[in-house]
Amino acid sequence: MTYPFSDEHQLIRDSARGWLSTWYDAAAKLPKIYDGGLGVDLAAWTDFAVQQGFAAISIPEAYGGAGLGQLGRAVIMEEIGYHLFASPFFSTCCLAADLIEAFADEATKARELEAIAQGAQIIAFADARALNAGRVTGVLDASVADKILLAVPEANAIALYLLPAGQFDIVQNKTMDGLRNHCSIAYDGLEGDAFARCAAPDFDAVLRVAQTALVHESVGGAQRCLDITLDYTAQRVQFDRPIASFQAVKHRCADMYIALESARSAALYFAVAEAHEAQEASLIARGWCHESYFKVAGDAIQLHGGIGFTWDYPLHYFFKRARHNRALYGSPQSDYLQLAHYLTGTDG
């Protein structure tokens, strides 16, 4: 196994890929979930999280997890992206778990993180600092969540609440990516106390790392788009030759490979970054990985010709996920602008 992964990481990857390959191939999963409207395969998530134990990958051992941190999470997120697994792993095991681990007291961490590691609950994160017509938008998996982790701005702090999802008015939004549960929520008062309060810069730093875990999903999705394209161009014959032998096709595939591998490098730089490098590494990874996925997915569709645009062919699902990842937490341009301000020490 190559740096920075260990043999243990490879075993986890092999296990996850084997299980997800079966899920992906079973009874045309993607169209069924896309048309079903929920955006999550809850039955499969229970098996993945509980029986297979993958929800515990990055949870510390002290709270019932495997303790494999960012690299363990990277492996799972890549495989989720490669198979477009419709699950609440990112919302629960990345966003919610990181915020709870960083700011909750020991009793809350022991209770909530152990439940996440056991696959016993789904938690959606909602950032109430950005309201749209009185609603918190961009809340992933809220309509299937057991609890909502809500960040509410106060005078000199961010208050964090962990409340039953039933306390909120939840609306699932119809978006381009029907394989993701995308919601908005509203509430009229909060029935419960905040489990933690933290300074806004500390909150932003933890949230940035949690959100950046999504880059690994983009790397996995880009890899799948390239694999599908290489397989297709090797079999598609034109003028008595596989189109993979045409120079223009070779050049485009080479460009896709370069975009993929540079994105993988950026994602791994983020995964192994020390604390003092985290902000720079996350901005680089977010700016480059999501944009690269979008480019690779678009090129894949073009290299397939007419079939690439058809509803029954899988590429459009990956293209929609790439477009969604690219816009979910701001544009690549905004990440690069923040990076420029950070590196030059200017405000922005």
Which domains are delineated in the chain? 7-204 (1.10.540.10), 213-344 (1.20.140.10)
Element (H, E) at 137: strand 135-140
Give the residue among 9, 6, 13, 114 at the shortest CA–CA distance from 59.
114
pTM comes to 0.94
Q: pLDDT digit of tens for each residue in the chain (348 aa)?
A: 467 888 899 999 999 999 999 998 765 788 888 888 899 999 999 999 999 999 999 999 999 999 999 999 999 999 999 999 999 999 999 999 999 999 999 999 999 999 999 999 999 999 999 888 889 999 999 999 999 999 999 988 999 999 999 999 999 998 889 999 999 999 988 889 999 999 999 999 999 999 999 999 999 999 999 999 999 999 998 999 998 999 999 999 999 999 999 999 999 999 999 988 989 999 999 999 999 999 999 999 999 998 988 888 999 999 999 999 999 998 888 888 988 988 888 865
pLDDT of residue 27: 52
pLDDT at residue 189, as a whole number: 86
pLDDT at 347: 67
Whether 215 and 267 have beta carbons less than 8 Å apart is answered as yes
* Distance from C-alpha of 194 to C-alpha of 149, rounded to nearest angstrom: 10
Segment (H or E) for 334: helix 332-344
Token pair listed for 170: 């939840």
Cβ neighbours of residue 331 under 8 Å, at least 6 residues apart? none
Q: Quick one: pLDDT at residue 315?
A: 95
Residue 167 CB partners (closer than 8 Å, separation 6+)? 148, 187, 190, 191, 192
d(CA 200, CA 168) in angstroms, rounded, equals: 24
Distance CA 291, CA 310 (A): 23
Longest dimension (CA), the chain: 71
| β-strand pairing of 123-127 with 241-242 | unpaired
Of 281, 285, 264, whose CA–CA distance to 329 is shortest? 285
pLDDT at position 348, please? Answer: 57
Written as six digits, the tokens of 178 are 């029907």
Do the bridges between strand 135-140 and strand 182-186 make them parallel or antiparallel, or are there none, so unpaired? antiparallel
What residues are paired with 170 via a beta bridge?
185
* Angle (CA) 172 331 156, round 5°: 75
Distance, CA of 234 to CA of 151 (rounded, Å): 50
Exposure string over 270-281, b if 16+ CB within 10 A, otherwise e: bbebeeeebbbb
CA angle 248, 254, 259 (to 5 degrees): 130
